[in-house]
Amino acid sequence: MPKKTIKDIELRGKRVFTRVDFNVPRAQDGSISDDTKIRAALPTISYLLQHGAAVILASHLGRPKGQVQENLRLRAVAERLEQLLGQKVIYVRAVTGPEVTQAAQELQPGRVLLLENVRFHPGETKNDPELAKEYAALADLFVSDAFGTAHRAHASNVGIAAYLPAVAGFLMEKEINNLSRTLHNPQKPVVAIVGGSKTADKIGVLTNFLRLADTILLGGGMANTFLAAKSYQLGKSLVEKEQLQQAAAVMKAAEKHGVRLCLPVDVTVAFGLHEAAGACNVNVDAVPADMMVVDIGEETRKLFAAYIRGAGTVIWNGPLGVFETDAFARGTIAVAQAVAASAAFSIIGGGDVVAAVEKAGVANNISHLSTGGGATLEFWEGKELPGIAVIQDL
């Protein structure tokens, strides 16, 4: 159902509590190593400022579990945001309290205030209504623009909507529209690429893709479990033995639905997850007993690319190998290049795959890079996300 956005309300002179996702990757020295998430929020922030709103920003960073952690403060985020906006960002080292209240009351239209990491407060992840009321007291409106946390019912993205009118920012609107397009009106044929290490994490989305996709391409550690369910011997590879029956059931359901479910026909094997020395390409029925699968093989890359070339829509979640090791990222990068070269409407979700696309230099050729990990997966599973449900319907 269409949701109200910041274009549908009067903003001038209003204080706007805006939940963004500034959970950015950081280097060992605490500096921001990738500001993609900050840049993704700029269209919403800029629009609010241009239309006369006083903007109060709230975000989490990491998982401090309700405790103040100095290395998870948002000072570096505030400084980077200042550079990108070209204006001063007022930053308070608190989530709630007199300092926050005063800063919000004194905030003028066209100015930006950034609160401290909301997960420093123990009530944030518990969706504490009292904390939500404190957030709401700071503002006149609530703008939801953190799609990456939309699957979590927390005080700053769900609880606050009980006390303030809630509308979507541009990033949230973009995510909803693009992901909905793949679920409800995809251009056929639909090719779904599913990777990652754990079958258990992907069963829900795989089951939903059986109703949606024409072809499903499986890679990553989870493909090992499916291969093992077909009685392949995979040496020392990661195999989730407790998921073998589930994998067999998915393959049987795919056959029933007429969905082509493609497993690797060859693989890259190595002596360890991060040991490139001695790695080689073998057929899936010839994995040495003392080696493990670390990537899809050369023939599999060609096979997957052929299906991708003929697709009308491509949706992808999860890397197809041990992406952290450059030598074992080749399959993921090759498939990223194939997706980028195709004429299909393409959506990629999940940090590792987005990083692969950027590493391959083809990010600009993907229709939509989703900012959500778990949120994207749950959306594709067909679940109602609490962070979207609270936004007012249009």
Give 1's pLDDT tier (boundaries 50, 70, 90).
low
Task: Tell me the per-residue pLDDT of 111-153, one tens digit each, with 9 for 90 and over.
Answer: 999 999 999 999 999 999 999 999 999 999 999 999 999 999 9
- Res. 246: pLDDT tops 70: yes
- Res. 169: pLDDT tops 90: yes
At 35, the amino acid letter reads D
CATH topology of domain 6-171: Rossmann fold (3.40.50)
- Res. 30: pLDDT tops 90: no
pLDDT for residue 373: 83
pLDDT for residue 25: 87
Q: What is the mean pLDDT of residues 89-100?
A: 97
Greater model confidence, 25 or 52: 52
pLDDT for residue 199: 86
- 178-380 under CATH 3.40.190.10, yes or no: no
pLDDT for residue 346: 96
Sheet holding 313-317, edge to edge: 260-262, 215-218, 190-194, 313-317, 345-349, 368-370
pTM recorded for the entire structure:
0.90
Q: What is the mean pLDDT of residues 46-72?
A: 97
pLDDT for residue 117: 98
Q: What is the mean pLDDT of residues 241-259?
A: 95
- Res. 57: pLDDT tops 90: yes
User: Where in the chain are all domains bearing CATH 3.40.50.1260?
Assistant: 6-171, 178-380
pLDDT for residue 36: 85
With 0-12 / 13-18 / 19 or more C-beta atoms within 10 angstroms meaning exposed / middle / buried, residue 105 is exposed
At 241, the amino acid letter reads K
Given a contact cutoff of 8 angstroms between Cβ atoms, the answer to whether 22 and 147 are in contact is no
- Ranges 5-14, 240-249, 291-300, 374-383: which has the least confidence: 374-383
Residue 136 in tokens: 């709401």
Summary mean pLDDT of the chain = 95
